[in-house]
Chain A
Amino acid sequence: MTRFASIFAATAMLSITAPVAAQSMQGMNMPGMSMPAKKKPAAKPAAKAKRPAKARLSPAKRKMPAKHSAAPMAGMKGMEGMDHSSMPGMDMSGSSPQPAQGAHQDMQSMPGMQMPANGQPAAQGAQQPMAGMQSMPGMTMPADQHGSQVMPGMSGMATMPGMTMPGMQQTGTALAAGNAPAPAPPMDHYADRQFAPAEMAKARHDMMVDSGGKPFSQVLFNLAEYQARQGRDGYRWDGEAWFGGDINRVWLKSEGEGGFREGVESAEVQALYSRAVGPYFNLQAGVRHDFQPSPNRTYATVGFEGLSPYMFEVEGALFLSTKGDLLGRLEGYYDQRITQRLILQPRVELNLAAQDVPENRLGAGLTDAEIGLRLRYELRRQFAPYVGVSYVAQTGRTADFTRAEGKDPSTTSFVAGVRIWF
């Protein structure tokens, strides 16, 4: 590339003084330009130029980490093997075997040729080669915004039938953009001049609310199921409801279970304020109240829920009771699509306690864990009956409390229910 560039520079008449060109052509990609010279000279120098070019990269207009500035070169490397024969309509008639002349001529035979890109001068790829480019009339290469790595539109050139069409001038879209400042936004609304401003203000407000500002709500029961287990069949639910916009929402959560003979064993409701804190996660804070087991408890809650990498729906929360007890919970599930409508959902829930809470028969540490596997069929997205199996095991001192009551600290249930939302 270095060699190539100097050849350009030598042949070029106008090349010397070109701050503008140097600026507006950064980021463009030499190997592409070498196409008229046919393949061989194009590929090799491009690869070689990698190092020296990198060294010249310093005078960046914008702060840019080193790894970025190297990008243009990497791009060139990618271009190496470019198949020039696949460019129909590219006029190569004037090409001579000598790279220098040939190149120049061919460039001229492409008036109006143009590599559009983003205007902001950014990375400083190949400044030196640019100098040579200047001798090509109408060839404007506005820099790619990010100093990018690729000659934008190179791929398109392969299919540019109009490349040598007559009537193509070095004007219009072939010209580089200047850097005039943007005007300040006006303070008024133009339609206020033609219609009653009050009426327009209302219409404007409605239009804005209508364009991204409307709230939504959803009620979702991920679990609503019958649990068949030895001796004491029961039921279980785990659901949530929310109302609000994209960022701020009010969130209600409820989960619990019971037996058909014993009645409700546990039941909790959380009322939360939820705020989107990233593309995938919501932070949530509020209160939780346990109606069962007794004595019932109220907690302050802070937690999160969202979509983790690898597409796991995860949820976690800390609960601080009015008695000062600290509990925690982690939940996660994954929807494995077997077909478009048949979905297997492995689910894990861990409950934790920072201390013993004898009144609620909880021991410090991991109090219980649930592993579930549910297979649902989405008749509609909103309505999916399922069957599955759920294994819940209490551990440590919590298990001891349960045993002391004469109950089994671990339970396996076969479940059947429906995942439903509306």
Chain B
Amino acid sequence: MSRIIDRRQMLRGAALAGGGLALSAYMPAWAQTNSAGLTTPLPTVTGNDITLRIARQTMMIDGRASRAIGINGTVPAPLIRLREGQNVRLHVINDLDEDSSIHWHGLLVPPQFDGVPGISFPGIKARSSFLYEFPIKQNGTYWYHSHSGLQEQLGHYGPIVIDPASTDPVQSDREHVIVLSDHSQLSPEAIYRDMKVDPGHFNYQRQTLAGLLSGKDQRSKDRIDWGKMRMDPTDISDATGPAYTYLVNGHGPRDNWTALFTPGQRVRLRVINASSMTTFNVRIPGLKLTIVQADGQNVMPVEVDEFQIGVAETYDAIVTPSDDRAYTLVGEAIDRSGLARATLAPRAGMAAEVPALRPRPLATMEDMGMDMSAMGGMEGMDMSNGDMSKMRGADSTAEKNPSAKLTTPGAGMAAGAMAMSGMTPGGSAMPGMDHTGMSPGAMASGGSAGGMAGMDHSAMGGHQGGTGAMDMGSMKMRDFSKAPQVKKGPGVQTISPMPMDRTGEPGQGLENVGHKVLVYRDLMALTRNPDVRAPERSLDIHLTGNMERFMWSFDGVKMSDKMEPIPFLEGERVRINLINDSMMGHPIHIHGHFFELVTGHGDHAPRKHTVIVQPGGKVTWDFTADAVGDWAFHCHLLYHMHAGMMRTVSVRPRGEAV
């Protein structure tokens, strides 16, 4: 597929050269853009009465026309700029020949205006309109998107910025909205079907014999072990680079969307991940990012070099570029199959080096919910699996999407080398490496151990192990006694035997990048949480799936199989434990509410609307069910939701409860 794209690109390249842009041949790849840098700000709508018209259109991405659904003629949809305390009336006109809808992601609105067809309202019929009207009770960075079918993939998403009623605690000289997304030449229906009938369809970064022979990725013993488990450690994301061009504000990496600054200015970047399926690792080489807001909620400033942003999350970061030069904003897809690229520059037409895509990560035993470090006498197993294979490098035949051509080969080496050098001195220098208190000594032994010494693999295929204290017998991969509430069935491939709280880890593939990566535990609310009561009860929800059948569900039950909601009482404060029984991260979103992450910050817990639950890991949050109504609760990976990873949540007044 990328082959075809390549050929077309060459043709286009030839056409461009013929058209007088022959100069481009003398410029490095990253500097060859389709434009002199698009500095146009996002179209913006504001005021108390706003009209949004949903319609099919084409959009140009890296010089190539693509089918899309946009709003008011643009993709992303126009920036909706509001002020806290105002009332807004949004007239949404659906010019499509099918039903549509708009969900205001992160906005606390009455349930009838939440915009989920079948839960909050009947949807907006083809060629009709719907009036949303609600008060704006909050401020911050949010976004909006279709909740109908797979329209979101086609471009039906846009940013929302709400200015605070009073002074913004985050002061900046200038701001830019950065909407990250993924766009495909394939129809979303085709993408979904391809994944459904052909597992791993879009993964062109698998382990191969060529890789094995050249000493890359897992060693053969590990490959056999993983094969025995019928798990593919390269299955990091489903729809990925070969299907997608990664966009910034609707522009491809070659378009080079450019955000302007004056050196010395404090620039606020409002980063929104409006992707359908892509978790991005965001960084600006040469600049520190000071995270000041997450999911529209102010947090105590944290300085990082990079952050992972799950689908539907938002982060506001302050950067202060002091030099009169261009910087590249890189949004690297989590599986490193491609990148979104923008430029921060003092003037239009500038470009900076685009760092090479780093080697794609490999899933580890920990990503299957096996906490290796907790097992006495088995230190080092995880190392041999994940981190050691990272040292071996990724498969040499792995394919990237065309954005890789923009990168400078040398630029990525630095990061790689850094990671390698980090390995040698010992534990303390390895951020994130030390998962659960492995000592440097243990790590060293792990390094030398090489294979999975001591691991009883025979017990992993589901055979009963001995009754020994902590052998692999108790690490069965599909032991429903570990999750009694999960419905047993073909849709549940694995049950994490020992799910860990991984909110202190930077995310898959970012354990060893040689610089500071944001972790959830870094986030702390700027102000005290509004409700600091103890949770009255707690509730486990298992994130379940089968990658071989592309089935996704909660507690083993797909949305299509169960309408019965997860019930809450008005005002009830409940602790939710999200346990990821799959080997893939899931950004979980609840409508109508914010939740407080239980990450050790007491009454200054970070408040979010969406949280990534890392593979095989778990995330705990507290929330107050204060919005009466029925609300959607789902994985925000579009095709996971579409496959059934969704449920209704009901909040009812106490008296009303049955």
**Residues of chain A whose beta carbon lies under 8 Å from any beta carbon of chain B:** 31-32, 54, 65-68, 70-71, 73-75, 77-83, 85-86, 111-120, 138, 142, 145-146, 148-163, 165, 167-187, 189-191, 194-196, 199-200, 202-213, 216, 218, 246-247, 276-280, 307-311, 336-341, 344, 379-381, 421
A-B contact pairs, 21 of them (CB 8 A): A67-B468, A71-B498, A78-B376, A79-B436, A112-B601, A149-B371, A153-B600, A155-B436, A155-B505, A156-B520, A173-B622, A177-B536, A182-B567, A183-B572, A203-B117, A204-B118, A212-B646, A216-B193, A246-B551, A338-B209, A340-B398
Least CB distance from B226 to A in Å reads 9
Known: A111-B602, A186-B567, A203-B117. A117 touches B501 (CB 8 A): yes
Whether the Cβ atoms of A173 and B427 lie closer than 8 Å is no
Q: Is the CB of B643 within 8 A of A167?
A: no
Q: Which residues of B contact A65 (CB under 8 A)?
A: 467, 474
Complex Cα–Cα for A174 and B596 (A): 11
Please give me the residue from chain A that is nearest to B209 by CB atom.
A338
List residues of B whose CB falls within 8 A of some A CB: 1, 3, 99, 111-112, 116-123, 149, 193-194, 196-198, 201, 204-210, 224, 227-230, 300, 302, 371, 373-377, 379, 395, 397-399, 427-428, 431-432, 434-442, 461, 465-471, 473-474, 478, 482, 489-493, 497-505, 519-522, 524, 528-529, 531-540, 546, 548-549, 551-553, 558-561, 563-569, 572, 574-575, 577, 579, 596-605, 618, 620, 622, 628-630, 641-646, 650, 652, 656-658
B375, B493, B658: the one contacting A184 at CB < 8 Å is: B658
B300 near A153 with CB under 8 A, answer: no
Which listed residue (B435, B602, B650) contacts A173, Cβ 8 A? B602
A150, B371: Cβ atoms closer than 8 Å: yes
Chain A: CB-nearest residue to B523 = A162
B532 and A337 contact, CB distance less than 8 A: no
Q: 4 closest Cβ contacts across the A-B interface?
A: A156-B504, A81-B439, A212-B644, A119-B538
For B206, what are the chain A residues with a Cβ–Cβ distance below 8 Å?
A: 337, 340
Residues in A whose Cβ lies below 8 Å from that of B112: 191, 194-195
A77 to B437, CA, bound (A): 10
The reply to whether B560 and A279 contact each other, CB–CB distance below 8 Å, is no
**Min CB–CB distance A89 → chain B (angstroms):** 10
Q: Chain B residues near A205 (CB, 8 Å)? A: 118
Contact of B600 among A118, A145, A160 (CB under 8 A): A160
Interchain CB contact under 8 A, A150 and B436: yes
Kindly state the separation between the CA atoms of A79 and B438 in the bound complex, as whole angstroms: 6
A107 nearest CB across to chain B (Å)? 14
Q: Indicate which residue in B559, B599, B650 contacts A190 across the interface (CB closer than 8 Å).
A: B650
B117 touches A206 (CB 8 A): yes
Closest to B379 in A: A78
A171 and B532 contact, CB distance less than 8 A: yes
Contact between A208 and B577, CB atoms less than 8 A apart: no
Q: Which of B1, B373, B567 contacts A78 (CB 8 A)?
A: B373
Give the residues in chain A near B397, CB-CB below 8 Å.
339-340
A196–B112 alpha-carbon span in the complex (Å):
12
**Which residue of the partner chain, among B374, B618, B646, contacts A149 with CB atoms under 8 Å?**
B374
Q: Is the CB of A172 within 8 A of B437?
A: no
Contact check: which of A158, A168, A177, A340 meets B534 at CB < 8 Å?
A: A177
B209 & A336 in contact (Cβ 8 Å cutoff): yes
B538 nearest CB across to chain A (Å): 3
Q: Apart from A31-B437, A165-B604, list 5 A-B contacts with CB within 8 A.
A: A67-B474, A114-B601, A153-B599, A168-B604, A178-B536
**Which listed residue, A119, A153, A174, A339, touches B577 by the CB 8 Å rule?**
A119
- In the complex the two chains form, is B500's CB within 8 Å of A150's CB? yes
Chain A proximity of B302: nearest CB distance (Å): 7
CB pair A184 B558 closer than 8 Å: no
Closest residue of chain A to B466 (Cβ to Cβ) is A67
Given contact pairs A116-B598, A117-B620, A176 touches B371 in the complex (Cβ within 8 A): no
Report whether B537 and A178 are in contact in the complex, using a CB–CB cutoff of 8 Å.
yes
CA distance A151 to B437 in the complex (A): 10
Q: Which residue of A lies closest to B634 (CB)?
A: A211
B346 CB to closest chain A CB (Å) equals 32
| B537, A179: Cβ atoms closer than 8 Å | yes
A211 engages B641 (CB within 8 Å): yes
Q: How far is the CA of A203 from the CA of B648 in the complex (A)?
A: 14
Which of these, A85, A165, A181, A339, contacts B537 with CB under 8 Å? A181
- B260 shortest CB reach to chain A, Å: 32
- B561 & A184 in contact (Cβ 8 Å cutoff): no
B567 touches A74 (CB 8 A): no
Docked pose: A343 CA to B519 CA in angstroms:
39
Nearest B residue to A245, CB-CB: B560
In the assembled complex, which residues on chain B have CB atoms less than 8 Å from the CB atom of A68?
474
Residue of B nearest to A279 (CB): B493
A289 to chain B, nearest CB (A): 26
Alpha-carbon distance between A311 and B235 when the two chains are bound, in angstroms: 14
Residues of A within 8 Å of B551, CB to CB, are 212, 246
Q: Are A211 and B119 in contact (CB under 8 A)?
A: no
Tell me whether A307 and B548 are in contact in the complex, defined as CB-CB below 8 angstroms, given that A112-B602, A194-B121 are known contacts: yes
Asked if residues B371 and A183 are in contact (CB atoms below 8 Å), the reply is: no
Contacts of A120 in B (CB 8 A): 538, 540
Chain B residue nearest to A79 in the complex (CB): B437
Pairwise interchain contact B490-A277, C-beta atoms closer than 8 A: yes
B residues near A202, Cβ cutoff 8 Å:
122
Is A307 in contact with B467, judged by CB distance below 8 angstroms? no
Q: Which residues of A contact B566 (CB under 8 A)?
A: 185
Contact of A172 among B201, B520, B605, B650 (CB under 8 A): B605
Using Cβ atoms and an 8 Å threshold, which residues of chain B touch A203?
117-118, 121-123
* C-alpha spacing A205/B300, complex, angstroms: 44
Q: Is the CB of A159 within 8 A of B504?
A: yes
Are B620 and A118 within 8 A (Cβ)? yes
Knowing A149-B375, A183-B657, A338-B209, say if A159 contacts B519 (CB, 8 Å): yes
Tell me the bound Cα distance from A146 to B502 in angstroms: 16
Give which listed residue, B502, B522, B558, B598, contacts A161 with CB less than 8 A: B522
Q: Which residues of A contact B438 (CB under 8 A)?
A: 78, 81-82
Chain A residues within 8 Å of B469, by CB = 54, 67, 70-71, 73-74
Cβ B598 vs Cβ A154 within 8 A: no
By a CB distance below 8 angstroms, the chain A residues around B622 are: 172-173, 177
Q: How far is the CB of B435 from chain A (nearest CB, A)?
A: 5
* Distance to closest chain A CB from B618 (angstroms): 7
Residues of B within 8 Å of A80, CB to CB, are 437, 439
Contacts known (A79-B436, A156-B599, A172-B596); A211 close to B558, Cβ less than 8 A: yes
Residues of chain A within 8 A of B533, CB atoms compared: 175
What is the minimal beta-carbon distance from B297 to any residue of chain A, in angstroms? Answer: 14
Contact B437 A78 (CB under 8 A): yes
Are A216 and B196 in contact, CB atoms less than 8 angstroms apart? Answer: yes
- Contact: B467 with A247, CB < 8 Å? no
Which residues of chain A come closer than 8 Å to B537, judged between CB atoms? 119, 177-182
Closest to A161 in B: B522
Residue pair A381, B201 in contact (C-beta under 8 Å) = yes
Selected from A86, A181, A187, the residue in CB contact (under 8 A) with B428 is A86
CA distance A178 to B539 in the complex (A): 11
How far is it, in angstroms, between the C-alpha of A218 and the C-alpha of B194 when the chains are bound?
10
Q: Which of A145, A178, A213 contacts B579 (CB 8 A)?
A: A145
**A150 / chain B contacts, CB cutoff of 8 Å:** 371, 373-374, 436, 498, 500
Which residue of A120, A149, A212, A309 has the most chain B CB atoms within 10 A of its CB atom? Answer: A212
Instruction: Please give me the residue from chain B that is nearest to A184 by CB atom.
Output: B658
Chain A residues near B559 (CB, 8 Å)? 207-208, 211-212
| Chain A residue nearest to B658 in the complex (CB) | A184
Contact A82 B439 (CB under 8 A): yes
A247 to B473, CA, bound (A): 30
A118 and B577: CB pair below 8 A?
yes
Q: List chain B residues, Cβ under 8 A from A194.
A: 111-112, 121
Residue of chain B at shortest CB distance from A275: B490
Asked if A337 and B209 sit within 8 Å, CB to CB, the answer is yes
Q: Bound state CA distance, A270 and B468, in angstroms?
A: 48
